[in-house]
Every structure is written in structure tokens, then in C-alpha cells.
């Protein structure tokens, strides 16, 4: 163990993450889960050690709190957290050395595919650790499949940010198989009339993955289709602890306006908001390596006509949350007393809940910001008009002209404010809303794990009861019922083993899902911050142009 | 009224008049005033309160033996500021508009400064003894309650409104009155709208501040991803903080340049309006007297005719002063607005450049922070 911590950068071959990527077929999974569960206790203690090592290693956490207000002095630390994560993961993995069938793991693979750290935001994709390029040779033969999956993750993250029709090709052009799966949702069109009308969206996929029939294809889908996809995925995978990305919210008011045919800016905004949300939803789904393999997902992207999804009422935004809350309530009613091995889970769920609260607060603030910005835009327009009128009443020609120019400048500034408001909104408000929903889904994963635990405990109890029954029979000397009792004991013993194994499996899955989620979240947010800054910068540059153009006009007044 | 240069020359350099400091003691603001006589290089510093300014204004209004005085466009004095706690911002805004905003009464002081400069630069008004004693007497002149001139704030009685729209005998003046009415209204509106913009900018800045602070809630050190996420949140917090400072600066720029300028413009248009109204009142008086004279019986006629001649002479004097004043006003108001516009543009341009630079640095830092 100490070795591991001292040489975090080397030979990951034996220190791989025990569980191979989950999208492998079931047989694989079986191999993995024959490991004795006791290792999980070690893993948490190792992790703790790793954590402390991790924070001891670098001064990042100090930077966190002493961050000077002036940006200039901040040193970029590209090798900071990412390396730490790697360390943590590897130490985690160390305890399950048996699993060698898949020497490559999710994170080593990342190392392979990572190019030198790129400064530009566009190259979001590959994993954070650029340090392990020397391992490429070792894993070339299994590279392709996992590579695919990872590219999926990393690429979808970069996909997340463009709202345009087709996405830019990613910058890491490597000699290995190129994976890309670009999804865009466009052309919202109203189909039908009156209250039966609905919006149909064009879902375009561009990919080089072999599992699809062609390289580019387009289908039309409506909102309930997306909900239907979620329902199917949820049914199949959530009980295994997978984090199923939640769909966008249903909105009765928004849709009614659209159905009724109101052609006003608020319905246009609603449609655009929904389109963007659906796009992000799909991108998250396909970026999940296991979900991508699900035939329903493929069908959703490829099939011409989908059967109309029914019973999606339960899965509307409010319905979804209700469902989650019901599950949570049911869980809290159980007598939960998890053992200390799972302190990671205890801490994590607490973190998740805290974070959800924080994000809700932030969301409220961003909404307030957006409203003020819109108000500012309105006021600026009114001011521009008043200046224009002043200008046209002024006798002095040069002054009159300067005032009209001023009015025009203010009009353009108003435009900028409008754009900025929309930017604030889409960059942050929607991001926060997405993550609030996602955190709810994370809670759902934890609940599923609880359910599995409960199932296991119930089976243990039942086994105990059966044993007692057998003992009673022995004592009461009823040999005829004894065989049945013995059979039942065997049956329940098997169940106990099975449920215990399932619980271990779910725990591992949930943990992995959460780790993946956390990383993506940090990246997501960073991306959005960069995007926001870019647009801020752009606005400022526009402003500079406007003022530069106005100055000579003002100076020309005589 | 011809101003002969042989008369008492300007004794003070208008541009040297400065309000250098203001202190607040409960309800009373005391202004430190420095100025320089033309023939000396030494500055003189005195302390004045608002009542002193008011005394000056009243003294200017009530100068005797100044024919055509009513034709002068008097530089407008800002209303009295009431800094007490009970005076909420809304009340202050209603009363003073832009001058109520800004740090430490800066805008208000600037407005008072302009007032004094305008008085000192006026060819006729600068000769008023009251100005000298106001600027140079160490003792505050305001202690003597001056006679109230006849030119206090015109109330908008119905009768006044009727008089205001009385048709003029002179096209030049009729035009001027129309234009002035128009401009006064429009500049008032523009000032108000700009005030709205500045208030909203300040509100937005406040909202950014809240957002920026709240991002600190998300700091969590538990594991590497949490650390990474926390860093992003803190970075965003910095960025939003920068946005907030940007907005505050933009608002303060608007306030100190264009806001001040539009406020001055709007009050000056009002001052012109008051002058034109005084002349119109005189015109009405003249016409009334004329009618009376025409109807008068022979015995009274001579007296009335003499009276009429006097009124007519007064009216003509006022009109000729007014004409000069109007021309002077036209060229100076263009100049004043020009300077404010240039100042505004320059300061906004600088702010935009400064923050473009800052955002660019933040962007660079962000891109480097997360090597990918």
C-alpha cells in the first residue's frame, strides 16, 4: 500500500480499478464479483490514506482559500487535482489485485488517450491525466473498446456546450480509432393543431461507431418519446445502481402557449429552452458507457417511427421528483443501519444533499440576476429613445447628430444586455437546474443501494428464521418436515449469497457512477465558466468598438 | 443693457472655483470652497453651507439698478440636500435626482461648483458684490437673511399656465419659447431615464454580489473531485465579482459624467423657461396697460401714456437682454453637453478596456486551471 502512494505515477498495470467498465457483457461482470467482499473495508481505509496523502502532496487546497482577487497572480496548476484523483482511484483499486482480465481500466485508459494538456476550452474531451503516456504500449490490444467508451464520455462533455447545428471536430486527432458521436437536436416544428398539437424535434446523429447502421442519420422525435426513453432505461438499469440522466421537465403552461399558437417571444424562448435541454439530456445518455450499449438508446436514435410512449405522465418533471421522493421516503422508513465499511457512502450522501441545497440557492440567485439584466435592457432601450428625441429637437447640427449617435450606441448596448441575459440564463440557470435534477438522480442511486441492502438483510433474517424452524423441528422430532426445512434453508442460503453479491455489485456501481458524475460535474462547470467568460469578453470588445466610434462624434461638436 | 468693460472687472477666475471638501454634521453639510482672484496667485478658502448659496442666489435676483435684470437666465441652483437619516433614498432621488446618488455627495458638490462657475463667468452677474463676499469673506454671509427676490420658484398656478401660453409679439421669442418648452421636457425625461438605467445597474451589481458570495457555499474539500469543483466555483465567484465591479464602475461613470450633464442641462432649460416666462408676464402687463390707455378718458390718458412708455421701455430692455442671454445660452449649452459627452465616452471606454483585460486574464487562468 505505501508503495502505491509513493509512486502514484507508475505502472498502473496491477493497480487497476477492480471493476471493468460496466458495459462489458455479463460474463465479465461475474468474474469481477467473485472477489471476496471483505476487500471493500480495506479500500475505504486505503482511500482515506490516499486522501490525506493527496492533500499533503500539493498545495492546491491552500490555493483554494488564499486565492487572490487579482487573477494575474494565479498560477495555473494543471497537474493538481487530476493527478490526485488518479492516485485515489488507483489506491482504491489496489485491494482487488485479482481482477486482471481487464488490465486496462477506465482511468488508465484515460491516461492513454490524453494528449498534452490543451489550453483551449474546445479540447475538453480526454481525461485529465496527461502524465501516463508511457503506458500506451502496454494496452494497445484492448485499447479500442474502452477507448471508445472513454471518448464517448469525454466527447459528450464537449458536445454539451455547443448549441449550433453540427459540432466541431475534436482536436485530439490520434492514430487510434476515432470515436465520435455527435448529437444535435434542431428544427422544432409544431405538428397538428389545437390542444392535440405537439412539437417534433429533429434528432441528428453523426457517428463513426460501428454499432450504428450508418454514419449520419436523422429521426423526428417528440417530447414524450424522450420521456419514454427515460422510463425504459430507468426500468432496466436503475435497480443496478446506475445513474440514469433525468429528462427535462414537462411544462403545462409552456406547452399550452405553444399549442394555442401564441407567437410571442416567451413561447419561442420556451421552445428553445426545451430544445437545448433535450439535447443535453441525450448527450448525457450517450456519454454513459453502459447506457450507450442499451438497444433502446440505439433504437431511439435510429428508428424511423417509435411506438408512442404511454404512461409518461408519471415521468413529468414534477412526477419524476415525486417518484424520487416516494422512494426516499420508503427508504427512510426502513430500519437502516449500515455498517462502518460504508462510511464513504454516508459522507457522500450527505455531500449530495448539501450540494443540492446549495445549488438550489444559487439557482434562485441566477434567476434574479437574469431578471435584473432584462430590466436593465428595457431601461436602456427607453433611455435610448429619449436621447433620440432630444437629438432630433436640438438645433445645433453637430450636437443633434452626436445625440442621435448616442441613442444608437445605447440601442446596441441594449442588445448586448439582452444577449448577456440569455447567456446568463442558458449558461448558468439551466446548468444549475440540470444538476439539481441530476443530484436527485444520484440520491436515487443511493436509494437503490439501500433497497438492495434491505433485500439482503431481509433474506438473512429469513434464513435465520428457517434455521430456527429447523432447530425446532429437530427438537420436536418431526423428521418428515425436516427435509423441507433443510431445502428451504438451502434456498435461502443461496438467496442470501445472491443478494449479498448484488449488494456488493450495486455498491461498486454506485460508487463508480458517483465518481464519474463528480468528475463530469467539475468539468461541466468549468466549461460553462469558460464559455461565460468568452461571451463576457466578447461583449466588452463590442462595447469598446461602440465607444471608440462614438468618441470622434462627440469631439466633433462645435 | 450694455456692459462696459470700464466697470468693475471680473475679480475672480471662474475656472478656479472649486469645492474641495464636504463635511456632514447631522443635517448640515459644510462645503469647503477655494477660488482664486484674477490678479493674484493665491487661493482663498472659505466654508459655506447651503443657506449661503441660497443667499447668493437671492442677492443676484434682487439686484437693484440693473435694467433688464429679468431678462437674465440665472444659473440654476440645485435644491437643498437633506442628508438626515429620515430622508430615504427615494425621497432624496425625487428631490435631487442624480445629485442624490454617488459617493459622499460628489455629484452634489460638482453641481454647486458648476453653479458658482456659471455665476462667475456671467458678464453681468459676476459683478455682483454678493459674489465677492460669498467667495472671499471668511465669515459666512448667509447669516443676513437676504430679501427674497421676486424670482422664487414659479408655482404652477392655473393662471401661470395661461400666461405661459400667451402668444408672443416677436417671432424670435415665440420660436424660442416653443423650442425651450420642448427641450426642457425632453431633457427632463432623458435625465429620468438615465437615472433608471443607473439604478438598475446598481441593482444588478448587488445581485451579482449575492451570487458571487453564495458560490462560496459550494466549497468542499472531501475528495479530489470536490476540490476540483470547489475551485471552479471559487473561480466563478471571482468572475462574478469582477462583473459586479464592472457594473458599479459603469454606473458610477454614467452618474458622474452624462448624468450630471443631463441634470445640468435640464435645470438650465428650466432656468431659461423662467426667464422667458418673466418676459411674457411683462408682455402681458404691457398689453394690459396699452388696452387701459386706449380706453382711458382724456384726462387720465397722459398719465397712463407715460406709464405705458415706462413699461414698454422696461419690456424692450428685458427683450434685448434676453436675446443676448439666449444666444449665449445656446452656444454654452452646446459646449457644456459636448464636454460631458466626451468625458462620458472616454471614461466608459477606459472602463470597457480595463474590464476586457481583466476578463481576458480570468479566461486565461480558467483555461489553464483545468488541463485536459
Q: List phi, psi (to 5°) of A304.
A: -60, -60
Residues of chain B with pLDDT under 50: 1-8, 149, 152-156, 372
Is A16 contained in some domain? no
pLDDT digits (tens, 9 = 90+) for A51-110: 333 333 334 333 333 434 443 333 434 433 333 333 333 333 333 333 334 433 333 333
How many angstroms separate the Cα of B250 from the Cα of each of A80, A373, B359? 37, 14, 15
* For chain B, counts of helices (H) and of strands (E): 9, 3
Query: Inter-chain contact B365–A548, Cβ cutoff 8 Å?
Result: no
Query: C-alpha grid cell for residue B24?
Result: 456632514
Query: Inter-chain contact A537–B360, Cβ cutoff 8 Å?
Result: yes
What pLDDT, on a 0 to 100 scale, did the predictor assign at position A146?
A: 57
What pLDDT, on a 0 to 100 scale, did the predictor assign at position B213?
A: 92
Helices (DSSP H) in B215-297: which residue ranges? 224-254, 260-295
Q: List phi, psi (to 5°) of B166.
A: -65, 130
Query: Inter-chain contact A376–B225, Cβ cutoff 8 Å?
Result: no
CA-based nearest distance A337→chain B, Å: 23
Is A386 contained in some domain? no
DSSP state, residue A15? T
The more confident residue out of B223 and A39 is B223
Q: List phi, psi (to 5°) of A120.
A: -80, 150
- The C-alpha atoms of residue B272 and residue B180 are separated, in whole angstroms, by 7
**Could you tell me which residues are beta bridge partners of residue B28?**
B25
What pLDDT, on a 0 to 100 scale, did the predictor assign at position A18?
A: 38
What pLDDT, on a 0 to 100 scale, did the predictor assign at position A144?
A: 55
Residue with cell 420521456: A227
What pLDDT, on a 0 to 100 scale, did the predictor assign at position A326?
A: 62
**Could you tell me which residues are beta bridge partners of residue A222?**
A200
**Could you tell me which residues are beta bridge partners of residue B34?**
B18, B45
The more confident residue out of A339 and B325 is B325
- Most A CBs within 10 A among B176, B198, B219, B224, hence the mutation to make, goes to B224
pLDDT digits (tens, 9 = 90+) for A341-398: 678 888 888 889 999 999 999 999 998 988 999 899 999 999 999 999 999 998 888 8
Q: Which helix (H) or strand (E) holds A181?
A: strand A181-191
The more confident residue out of A349 and A116 is A349
Sign for the CA dihedral angle at B360, B364, B367, B370 comes to negative
The more confident residue out of A433 and B84 is A433
Residue with cell 405553444: A258
Query: For residue A483, how many other CB atoms are within 10 A of its CB?
Result: 10
Is A326 contained in some domain? yes
CA-based nearest distance A396→chain B, Å: 8
Kindly give, in sequence order, each residue whose CB lies less than 8 Å from that of residue A170, ignoring residues fewer than 6 positions away: A122, A123, A125, A155, A158, A180
Query: Inter-chain contact B231–A402, Cβ cutoff 8 Å?
Result: no
Interface A-B: count of C-beta contacts within 8 A? 236
CB of B241 closer than 8 Å to CB of B207: no
A20: pLDDT strictly greater than 50: no
Is A230 contained in some domain? yes
Kindly give, in sequence order, each residue whose CB lies less than 8 Å from that of residue B73, ignoring residues fewer than 6 positions away: B268, B271, B272, B275, B325, B326, B328, B329
- The C-alpha atoms of residue A370 and residue A428 are separated, in whole angstroms, by 10
Give the chain B residue nearest A378 (alpha carbons).
Answer: B197
What pLDDT, on a 0 to 100 scale, did the predictor assign at position A47?
A: 40
pLDDT digits (tens, 9 = 90+) for A503-530: 999 999 999 999 999 988 988 898 889 9
Residue A177 pLDDT grade (very low, low, confident, very high; cuts 50, 70, 90): very low
Residue with cell 445605447: A410
What pLDDT, on a 0 to 100 scale, did the predictor assign at position A164?
A: 38
Name the 3-class secondary structure at B370: coil
Residues of B in contact with A379 (CB under 8 A): 193, 196-197, 200
How many angstroms separate the Cα of B215 from the Cα of each of A373, B209, B238, B242, B307? 19, 10, 9, 14, 80
Is A457 contained in some domain? no
CB of B355 closer than 8 Å to CB of A107: no
Write out A257-326 in H/E/C secondary structure: HHHHCCCCHHHHHHHHHHHHHHHHHHHHHHHCHHHHHCHHHHHHHHCCCCCCCCCCHHHCHHHHHHHHHH
B42 in contact with chain A, both atoms CB, cutoff 8 A: no
Pairing assessment for the beta strands A216-222 and B28-36 based on DSSP bridges: unpaired
Kindly give, in sequence order, each residue whose CB lies less than 8 Å from that of residue A54, ignoring residues fewer than 6 positions away: A84, A87, A88, B224
Helices (DSSP H) in A59-163: which residue ranges? 60-66, 81-94, 106-113, 140-159
Please give the model's pTM, rounded to 2 decimal places.
0.72
What pLDDT, on a 0 to 100 scale, did the predictor assign at position A383?
A: 94
Mean pLDDT of chain A: 70
CA-based nearest distance A447→chain B, Å: 22
What pLDDT, on a 0 to 100 scale, did the predictor assign at position B245?
A: 95
What pLDDT, on a 0 to 100 scale, did the predictor assign at position B13?
A: 81
B9 in contact with chain A, both atoms CB, cutoff 8 A: no
What pLDDT, on a 0 to 100 scale, did the predictor assign at position B118?
A: 92
Query: For residue A247, how many other CB atoms are within 10 A of its CB?
Result: 27
Closest CA to A109 of A96, A98, A125, A94: A125
Is A389 contained in some domain? no
Question: Cα A547–A552–A557 angle (5° rounding)?
Answer: 120
Residue with cell 441593482: B203
Query: C-alpha grid cell for residue B219?
Result: 466549497
Residues of A in contact with B354 (CB under 8 A): none
What pLDDT, on a 0 to 100 scale, did the predictor assign at position A473?
A: 84
Tell me the Cα Rg of chain A.
Answer: 28
Query: ipTM of the assembly?
Result: 0.88
| CATH code, A296 | 3.30.1520.10
- For chain A, report the end-to-end CA distance as a whole number of angstroms: 82
Is A283 contained in some domain? yes
- The C-alpha atoms of residue B164 and residue B68 are separated, in whole angstroms, by 19
Q: Which residues of A, range 334-373, sit inside 8 Å of B by Cβ?
A: 347, 351, 354-355, 358-359, 361-362, 365-366, 368-369, 372-373
- The C-alpha atoms of residue A104 and residue B183 are separated, in whole angstroms, by 78
- The C-alpha atoms of residue B369 and residue B372 are separated, in whole angstroms, by 9
B185 in contact with chain A, both atoms CB, cutoff 8 A: no
Q: Which of A71, A406, A515 sits opposite B225 (nearest CB)?
A: A515
Query: Inter-chain contact B371–A530, Cβ cutoff 8 Å?
Result: no
CB of B207 closer than 8 Å to CB of B278: no
A310: pLDDT strictly greater than 80: no
Closest CA to A283 of A264, A296, A297: A297
Residue A323 pLDDT grade (very low, low, confident, very high; cuts 50, 70, 90): low
Tell me how many domains chain A contains: 1
Is A538 contained in some domain? no
Name the 3-class secondary structure at B22: strand
- Angle (deg, nearest 10), helices A343-393 and A479-555: 20
Query: C-alpha grid cell for residue A515?
Result: 465518481
Q: List phi, psi (to 5°) of B30.
A: -115, 130
Burial state string for A144-170 with b = 16 or more CB within 10 A and e = fewer than 16:
ebbbbbbbbbbbbbbbbbeeeeebeeb
Q: Which of A238-242, A324-328, B182-186 has the highest mean pLDDT?
A: B182-186
Domain that holds residue A319: 178-305+313-332
Q: Which residues of B, range 302-361, sit inside 8 Å of A by Cβ?
A: 330, 334, 337-338, 341-342, 345-346, 348-349, 352-353, 355-356, 358-361
Amino acid at each position: 500500500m505505501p508503495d502505491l502512494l509513493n509512486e502514484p505515477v507508475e505502472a498502473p498495470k496491477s493497480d487497476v480499478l477492480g471493476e471493468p467498465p460496466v458495459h462489458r457483457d455479463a460474463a465479465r461482470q461475474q468474474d469481477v464479483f467473485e472477489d471476496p467482499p471483505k476487500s471493500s473495508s480495506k479500500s475505504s481505509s486505503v482511500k482515506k490514506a490516499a486522501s490525506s496523502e493527496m492533500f499533503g502532496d500539493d498545495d492546491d487546497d491552500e490555493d483554494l482559500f488564499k486565492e487572490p482577487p487579482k487573477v494575474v497572480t494565479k498560477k495555473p496548476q494543471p497537474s493538481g487535482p487530476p493527478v490526485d484523483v488518479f492516485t485515489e482511484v488507483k489506491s482504491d483499486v489496489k485491494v482487488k489485485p485479482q481482477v486482471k482480465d481487464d488490465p486496462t481500466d477506465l482511468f488508465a485508459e484515460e491516461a492513454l488517450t490524453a494528449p498534452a494538456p490543451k489550453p483551449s476550452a474546445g479540447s475538453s474531451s480526454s481525461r485529465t491525466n496527461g502524465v501516463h503516456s508511457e503506458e500506451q504500449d502496454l494496452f494497445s490490444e484492448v485499447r479500442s473498446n474502452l477507448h471508445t467508451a472513454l471518448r464517448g464520455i469525454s466527447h459528450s462533455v464537449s458536445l454539451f456546450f455547443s448549441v449550433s447545428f453540427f459540432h466541431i471536430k475534436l482536436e485530439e486527432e490520434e492514430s487510434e480509432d476515432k470515436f465520435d458521436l455527435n448529437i444535435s437536436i434542431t428544427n422544432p416544428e409544431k405538428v397538428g393543431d389545437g390542444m392535440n398539437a405537439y412539437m417534433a424535434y429533429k434528432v441528428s446523429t453523426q457517428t463513426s461507431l460501428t454499432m450504428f447502421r450508418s454514419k449520419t442519420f436523422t429521426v423526428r422525435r417528440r417530447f414524450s418519446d424522450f420521456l419514454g426513453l427515460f422510463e425504459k432505461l430507468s426500468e432496466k438499469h436503475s435497480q443496478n445502481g446506475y445513474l440514469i440522466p433525468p429528462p427535462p421537465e414537462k411544462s403545462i403552461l409552456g406547452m399550452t402557449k405553444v399549442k394555442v399558437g401564441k407567437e410571442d417571444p416567451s413561447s419561442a424562448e420556451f421552445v428553445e429552452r426545451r430544445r437545448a435541454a433535450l439535447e443535453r439530456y441525450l448527450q448525457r445518455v450517450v456519454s454513459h458507457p453502459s447506457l450507450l450499449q442499451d438497444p433502446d438508446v440505439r433504437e431511439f436514435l435510429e428508428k424511423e417511427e417509435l411506438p408512442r410512449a404511454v404512461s409518461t405522465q408519471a415521468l413529468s418533471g414534477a412526477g419524476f421528483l415525486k417518484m424520487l421522493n416516494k422512494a426516499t421516503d420508503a427508504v427512510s422508513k426502513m430500519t437502516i443501519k449500515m455498517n462502518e465499511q460504508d462510511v464513504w457512502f454516508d459522507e457522500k450522501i450527505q455531500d449530495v444533499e448539501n450540494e443540492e441545497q446549495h445549488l438550489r440557492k444559487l439557482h434562485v440567485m441566477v434567476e434574479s440576476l437574469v431578471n435584473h439584466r432584462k430590466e436593465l435592457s428595457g431601461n436602456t432601450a427607453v433611455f435610448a429613445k429619449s436621447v433620440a428625441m432630444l437629438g432630433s429637437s436640438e438645433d445645433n447640427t453637430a450636437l443633434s447628430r452626436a445625440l442621435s449617435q448616442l441613442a444608437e450606441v445605447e440601442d446596441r448596448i441594449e442588445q448586448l444586455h439582452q444577449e448577456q441575459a440569455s447567456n446568463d440564463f442558458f449558461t448558468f440557470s439551466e446548468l444549475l437546474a440540470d444538476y439539481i435534477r441530476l443530484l436527485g438522480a444520484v440520491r436515487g442511486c443511493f436509494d437503490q443501494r439501500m433497497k438492495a441492502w434491505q433485500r439482503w438483510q431481509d433474506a438473512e433474517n429469513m434464513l435465520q428464521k428457517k434455521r430456527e424452524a429447523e432447530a425446532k423441528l429437530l427438537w420436536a422430532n418431526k423428521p418428515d418436515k425436516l427435509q423441507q426445512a433443510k431445502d428451504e434453508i438451502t434456498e435461502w442460503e443461496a438467496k442470501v449469497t445472491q443478494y449479498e453479491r448484488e449488494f456488493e455489485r450495486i455498491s461498486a456501481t454506485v460508487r463508480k457512477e458517483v465518481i464519474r458524475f463528480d468528475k463530469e460535474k467539475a468539468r461541466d462547470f468549468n466549461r460553462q465558466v469558460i464559455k461565460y467568460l468568452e461571451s463576457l469578453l466578447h461583449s466588452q470588445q463590442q462595447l469598446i468598438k461602440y465607444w471608440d466610434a462614438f468618441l470622434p462624434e462627440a469631439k466633433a461638436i462645435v | 443693457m450694455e456692459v462696459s468693460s470700464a466697470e468693475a472687472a471680473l475679480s475672480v477666475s471662474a475656472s478656479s472655483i472649486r469645492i474641495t471638501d464636504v463635511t456632514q454634521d447631522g443635517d448640515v453639510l459644510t462645503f469647503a470652497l477655494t477660488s482664486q482672484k484674477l490678479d493674484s496667485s493665491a487661493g482663498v478658502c472659505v466654508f459655506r453651507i447651503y443657506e449661503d448659496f441660497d443667499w447668493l442666489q437671492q442677492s443676484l435676483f434682487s439686484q437693484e439698478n440693473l435694467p433688464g435684470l429679468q431678462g437674465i437666465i440665472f444659473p440654476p441652483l440645485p435644491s437643498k440636500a437633506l442628508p438626515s437619516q429620515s430622508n430615504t433614498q427615494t425621497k432624496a432621488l425625487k428631490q435631487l435626482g442624480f445629485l442624490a446618488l454617488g459617493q459622499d455627495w460628489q455629484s452634489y458638490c460638482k453641481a454647486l461648483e458648476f453653479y458658482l462657475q456659471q455665476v462667475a463667468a456671467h458678464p453681468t452677474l459676476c459683478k455682483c458684490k454678493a459674489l465677492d463676499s460669498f467667495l472671499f469673506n471668511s465669515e459666512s454671509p448667509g447669516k443676513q437673511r437676504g430679501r427674497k427676490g421676486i424670482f422664487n420658484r414659479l408655482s404652477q398656478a392655473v393662471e401661470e399656465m395661461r400666461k405661459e401660453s400667451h402668444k408672443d409679439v416677436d417671432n424670435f421669442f415665440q420660436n424660442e419659447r416653443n423650442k425651450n418648452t420642448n427641450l426642457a421636457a425632453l431633457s427632463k425625461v432623458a435625465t429620468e431615464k438615465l437615472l433608471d438605467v443607473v439604478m438598475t445597474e446598481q441593482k444588478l451589481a448587488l445581485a451579482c454580489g449575492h451570487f458571487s458570495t453564495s458560490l462560496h457555499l459550494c466549497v468542499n474539500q472531501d475528495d479530489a473531485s470536490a476540490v476540483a469543483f470547489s475551485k471552479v466555483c471559487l473561480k466563478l465567484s471571482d468572475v462574478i465579482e469582477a462583473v459586479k465591479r464592472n457594473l458599479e464602475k459603469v454606473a458610477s461613470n454614467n452618474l458622474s459624467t452624462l448624468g450630471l450633464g443631463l441634470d445640468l442641462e435640464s435645470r438650465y432649460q428650466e432656468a431659461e423657461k423662467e426667464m422667458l416666462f418673466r418676459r411674457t408676464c411683462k408682455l402681458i402687463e404691457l398689453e394690459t396697460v396699452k388696452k387701459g390707455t386706449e380706453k382711458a378718458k382724456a384726462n387720465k390718458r397722459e398719465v397712463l401714456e407715460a406709464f405705458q412708455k415706462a413699461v414698454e421701455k422696461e419690456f424692450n430692455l428685458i427683450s434685448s437682454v434676453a436675446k443676448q442671454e439666449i444666444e449665449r445660452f445656446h452656444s454654452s449649452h452646446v459646449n457644456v453637453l459636448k464636454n460631458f459627452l466626451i468625458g462620458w465616452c472616454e471614461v466608459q471606454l477606459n472602463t470597457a478596456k480595463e474590464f476586457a483585460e481583466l476578463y481576458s486574464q480570468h479566461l486565461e487562468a480558467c483555461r489553464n486551471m483545468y488541463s485536459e
